[in-house]
Each structure stands twice: as C-alpha cells, then as structure tokens.
A and B are shown apart, each in its own frame.
Chain A
Amino acid sequence: MKAHVERLAQEAGRPLTYLQSPSTKANGQTKEDLARSIAERDGITEGLVCVFSVLEVCMSFDVRGNHQTHKLEVVRRQRKCLHYYFYYLDAEFGLMHIRLQSWFPFDIQVYANGREWLAQQLDRLGIAYVRYGSSTSYHYDNKLTQIADLTTAQALCDKFVHRKWPRLLNALARKVNLLLSGIRKAGFGGYYWVFDQAEYATDVFFRDRATLEALLPALMELSMTAFSAEDVLRFLGRKLHGNFQGEVTTDRKKRPEGRRVKHRMKGNSLKAYDASNLLRIETTINPGLSRANGNPREFRVLRVVQTQQGKQRRWMPMGKGVANLWRYAQVGRQANYRYLNALAQARPTGKAIAELESLCHPKTAQGKRYARFNPVTATDCALFAAALAGEHALVGFRNKDLQGYLYPTSAPSATEQRQRSAHVTRLVAKLRGHGLIVKVKDCRLYRTTERGYRLMSAAIYCRNKVFPGSVAHITESSRL
C-alpha cells in the first residue's frame, strides 16, 4: 500500500509529506489549509494536490495466542498505523480529500463540502458569487456570502442529493486503494458507504453586515433564553416522551467571525451563527458517534418493510447508509426551517407592528363578527404563545393542545372540562376569524398562517420587550 501511494504521488508529480504531528484547527493550521497553500504555490487547478501521511489510531487486527486453545487467533483491536490524506482539486467537488488507512481493513473516509460543490457549479454556469474570507484576513472559507442568482443556485442544490453516491464513492475508493479488487476476491465484498457526519445548512442572506448586526443581539438572546429543551426537540422533529434518555443542552460562543448558539441533542446538533452578511442555521447529524451519543436513528425514514400483511411502508429509524442521503437533507432542512421560523419572533419590523393595529379592531368575515384582540394583555399573549409553541410547528395543534397551555392544571369536573373546551373553541374561531390560523382539511388540526406567525410574534415581542412592565400591569387592571 505504501509503495502504491508513493507511486501515485510520483506519477502525478505531487509531494508526499509525512506530518510529525496532527495538523488540526486546534494546532493553528489544518491539513486543508496546508493543501490549499500548496495548490496556490504550485498553481494546481485540477487533480491531485498533495498526499499527507500521518500516524493515527485505527481499528485493525492483531494476532494473539489463546491460552485455553493454545492456538493463535486473529483479534480486532485499536492500533496505530499510517493514514494517507489525498487532497484533490476535483472538477465537480472542488477541494476534497480521501483518508486511507494503510492497514487492513483499509478504511476510507471521503470528505466533501456542499458549498465547494456549489461554487464549482456556479463557475460552470457563469453565475457570479462572493466567497467569504477571500477579501479578508480570515482563513479560507467555503461560505458564499453573495450569489447573483439564488433561485438557480437552490435548484442546483436540490439536484445534488439525487446523485448516485455509492457509484461515485466507489470510483474514488478505486483511485486510492490498489488492493480493492484483491479484497473482493478474498471474499470481503465491496465497500458499504455510510455517513460519518452530515451538516445541512440554511444560509439567510442579509442585505449587508450592518443589517444583520442590528438584528443579531435579539436573535441570539431569543435562541438562548426563549427556547426550551422541548422546543429544541421539536425543531429536530422529535417529541419529548417518558422514554427519552438523553440530554438537551444549549451554549453560546463568541468568535472573531461572529457569534453562535448551539443546541445539542444526543450528539446531533442545531446551531445558528453569523459570518459577514450571512445568518447560518445548521443541523448536524453525527452517525460517527456511538449510538448513545448520537446517531441518525433519532430520526425516521419511510421504508418498505415486510410485515405479516405483506410489504408495507413504515416510518423506521434512519440508518447511516448513503442511500438515505435525500432523507438527511429533508431532516436537516425541516429542522433549519422550524428553527428559523421560531427565530422570526425576534425584533419585528415596522410593518409587523403596524399590522398589529388590525388585531385591535373587530373583524367581520363571511357574515360573522369576530371580537378584537388586545395584543399587549397577558391573556391574549398567552394564547398567541400557545399557538406559536415549537411543538405545534410539526403537525399543528388541536383544541386539547391549546387547553394544555392555557390551563396548567387538569379540570376538576366534567362540567369544567366542557366549559374549557367551549372557551378554547371560541378562541380558535377568533384566531381563524382574524386569519392567524387555518384549519387543516378533514381533521381537527389547526396551523399557524404566515400572517399569524408575523402578528402573534410581534405581539409577544411588544408585550415582553417594548411594553414596559408597569404599564402592562395597569392595562391588566383596567381590563379586569
């Protein structure tokens, strides 16, 4: 294997460098930075840039004597061996690398970046873009801060998930692993490709840095203080139940590039951070971690399974395989959107505040009159908060769900229960009358409308932030 790697580098005329210590972000210079500087120095635009060899820990085999059987046995254990990092400037993926373990079973890791891929496609189509960090002193970054045609860029990204990934990855493996055909002949089969880590990011492009900075403190404050563990679970498409064994944590960091808030759930995470004029929401799924610390099985995928009634479609725990790549994208996008949606409560714009006025007047729709709201009162804001609760972002809410928020204790009698139910029915009708929620067809579910998100979040913001507490108290008294 070593001779093969040396020959590969020699044939391409590229350097093979042994690194004495791991070059990581913590050390100040990553291997990627090193490879990029070599590519720039030698004017490499495509093909192999360089190969690094590093001594790292791996899972391999060893031969040990068994004292009971008095025979040698092959055992699997942790060892150290050379790992080769092949850095390529690929025509499709841009800068990427393949990590090859030099001992059996010759594990391979392939690292690619979706933004790098997008940049290559935009170059090909002649769509202009600005790359973050290219004009600043920060290290190279793959964030694209401006794209001339965002619609086309998103259409390209949507196609990305439908690539034939096993075929593509096998081709990359054949490029670096000479022994692959020998391994197949020896009866070990081919490679089964899985995700080790997948990050799915939604970038929100603000007009400029100043606009984002004006909003950022409110966004960070909201994400740190307003979201409960239950909300975080909901963003990630999970429901809190009695059997959930895990921890949900939230922390904040300040970096030279900006600020970030990260919510963790069993090794998977959801984070928000800023860079230049970008607000990025990123969902990370970590199949590489142990099952207890995080794996994609926290999420579900629709599969055809064999049951007693024949083949049926069932929501099953999501596996690590690359065949689920489309679902990883779907889960990531859903989580990002739910989170963005919740963040929309931060500092409403003038337009939203002006629209609040419409809630303060009775409304007549289809011959029915709906009473006004008072957006600064605690009762109406509690109703709005219940409708906007993170858990309702998934499938909407029912009358009973709102009751759970508005009445913390259970009803002492059946009569009281009926009265509560009737009261919430009237409130739901009022919300519908003002266009804040809509009914889902053929079921007793309601979902918040776009107008609802805008106005109800603005009302909550006004009550909690703009409206002084003392005045709010007076208003409550006067209403009573």
Chain B
Amino acid sequence: MDTFLPALAQVQVSIHQDEIVGTLSMFDRMIFKDYLTGFFPKALLLPISPGKGSGSRTLGITSSNPRKR
C-alpha cells in the first residue's frame, strides 16, 4: 500500500512547489500505558487477599474508606 505514497506526498509539494521547502513526517505526542499481564485471572489475586496479611498492605490494598487510612 505504501508503494504509491511517495508520489502522493509529492502532489501537494509539486502544486505549491514555489512556496514549500519540504515536508517531515514523524510521531508527535505518544502516550504509552502498561497492563500487568497476569492481572485478570482471579486466582492470582489470592496472594494479596486480606487474609494473607502483609501482602495487601505492601501492594497498596487498604480499607474501602480512604478516611480510615
């Protein structure tokens, strides 16, 4: 699909060639986000369930009421 793109890119430039110096194509803003791959299976939540003690606190799970923290 890219084969005729260079020709396409030249169209705007050639029509206005007296006015245009050149073009530059590049990513501008890029925002990357992460997902934990082993996140969704419910069984994997067991190591951090409240019954297991210290794990929950270490990994940031606290009471449902933020004021009680």
Residues of A within 8 A of B (CB): 1, 60-64, 72, 74, 79-81, 102-115, 118, 142, 144, 147, 150, 153-154, 157, 160-161, 165, 169, 173, 179, 182-183, 186-207, 211-212, 215, 282, 288, 322, 328-330, 332-334, 336-338, 340-341, 343-344, 348-349, 351-352, 393, 447, 450, 453-454, 457
Q: Give the docked Cα–Cα distance between A63 and B50 (Å).
A: 8
Chain A residue nearest in CB terms to B19? A211
Q: Give the docked Cα–Cα distance between A80 and B64 (Å).
A: 11
Residue pair A333, B5 in contact (C-beta under 8 Å): yes
Residue pair A202, B11 in contact (C-beta under 8 Å): no
Residue pair A192, B37 in contact (C-beta under 8 Å): yes
Q: Give the docked Cα–Cα distance between A450 and B56 (Å).
A: 64
**Within residues 1 to 50 of chain B, which ones have a CB less than 8 A from any CB in chain A?**
1-2, 4-5, 7-39, 44-45, 47-50
Residue pair A341, B8 in contact (C-beta under 8 Å): yes
Residue pair B16, A191 in contact (C-beta under 8 Å): no
Residues of A within 8 A of B66 (CB): 79-80
Residue pair B50, A193 in contact (C-beta under 8 Å): no
Residue pair A337, B29 in contact (C-beta under 8 Å): no
Q: Give the docked Cα–Cα distance between A190 and B34 (Å).
A: 9
Residue pair B11, A198 in contact (C-beta under 8 Å): no
Chain A residue nearest in CB terms to B42? A74
Residues of A within 8 A of B21 (CB): 150, 205-207
Residue pair A186, B5 in contact (C-beta under 8 Å): no
With A195-B32, A337-B5, A450-B7 given, is the CB distance from A200 to B63 under 8 Å? Answer: no
Chain A residue nearest in CB terms to B23? A204
Pick the residue among A64, A74, A142, A160 that contacts B49 (CB under 8 A). Answer: A74
Chain A nearest CB, measured from B35 CB (Å)? 5
The 3 closest A-B pairs by CB, nearest first: A114-B27, A189-B37, A189-B38
Pick the residue among B5, B30, B37, B63 that contacts A198 (CB under 8 A). Answer: B30
Residue pair B8, A169 in contact (C-beta under 8 Å): no
Question: Does B60 touch A at the CB level, under 8 Å?
Answer: yes
Residues of B within 8 A of A329 (CB): 27
Chain B residue nearest in CB terms to A168? B32
Residue pair B4, A111 in contact (C-beta under 8 Å): no
Residue pair B20, A206 in contact (C-beta under 8 Å): yes
Residues of A within 8 A of B28 (CB): 113-115, 142, 199-201, 282
Residues of A within 8 A of B55 (CB): 186
With A192-B36, A200-B25, A337-B5 given, is the CB distance from A343 to B12 under 8 Å? Answer: yes
Residues of A within 8 A of B31 (CB): 109-111, 195-198, 288
Residue pair B20, A207 in contact (C-beta under 8 Å): yes
Residue pair A114, B37 in contact (C-beta under 8 Å): no
Q: Give the docked Cα–Cα distance between A114 and B51 (Å).
A: 47
Chain A residue nearest in CB terms to B30? A112
Residues of B within 8 A of A186 (CB): 44, 47-48, 55, 59
Q: Give the docked Cα–Cα distance between A201 and B39 (Å).
A: 34
With A74-B45, A333-B25 given, is the CB distance from A454 to B14 under 8 Å? Answer: yes
Chain B nearest CB, measured from A78 CB (Å)? 12
Q: Which of B2, B14, B17, B27 has the most CB of A within 10 A?
A: B27
Q: Enumerate 27 A-B pairs (CB-CB under 8 Å) in ascending A order.
A: A1-B60, A72-B50, A74-B49, A105-B39, A107-B34, A109-B33, A113-B29, A114-B30, A144-B24, A150-B21, A169-B34, A182-B59, A188-B37, A189-B36, A190-B36, A192-B34, A192-B37, A201-B25, A202-B23, A202-B24, A204-B20, A211-B19, A282-B28, A337-B5, A337-B9, A344-B16, A454-B15
Residue pair B29, A199 in contact (C-beta under 8 Å): yes
Pick the residue among B29, B30, B34 that contacts A191 (CB under 8 A). Answer: B34
Chain A nearest CB, measured from B46 CB (Å)? 9
Residue pair A104, B59 in contact (C-beta under 8 Å): yes
Q: Give the docked Cα–Cα distance between A347 and B30 (Å).
A: 34
Residue pair A204, B26 in contact (C-beta under 8 Å): no
Residue pair B12, A344 in contact (C-beta under 8 Å): yes
Residues of A within 8 A of B51 (CB): 72
Residue pair A207, B37 in contact (C-beta under 8 Å): no
With A187-B38, A203-B24 given, is the CB distance from A109 to B32 under 8 Å? Answer: yes
Residue pair A157, B25 in contact (C-beta under 8 Å): yes
Chain A nearest CB, measured from B68 CB (Å)? 12
Residue pair A198, B27 in contact (C-beta under 8 Å): yes
Residues of A within 8 A of B39 (CB): 105, 188-189
Residues of A within 8 A of B61 (CB): 60-63, 74, 103-104
Q: Give the docked Cα–Cα distance between A351 and B4 (Å).
A: 24
Known: A195-B30, A200-B27. 5 other contacts (CB 8 A): A111-B29, A169-B32, A194-B35, A205-B20, A344-B16
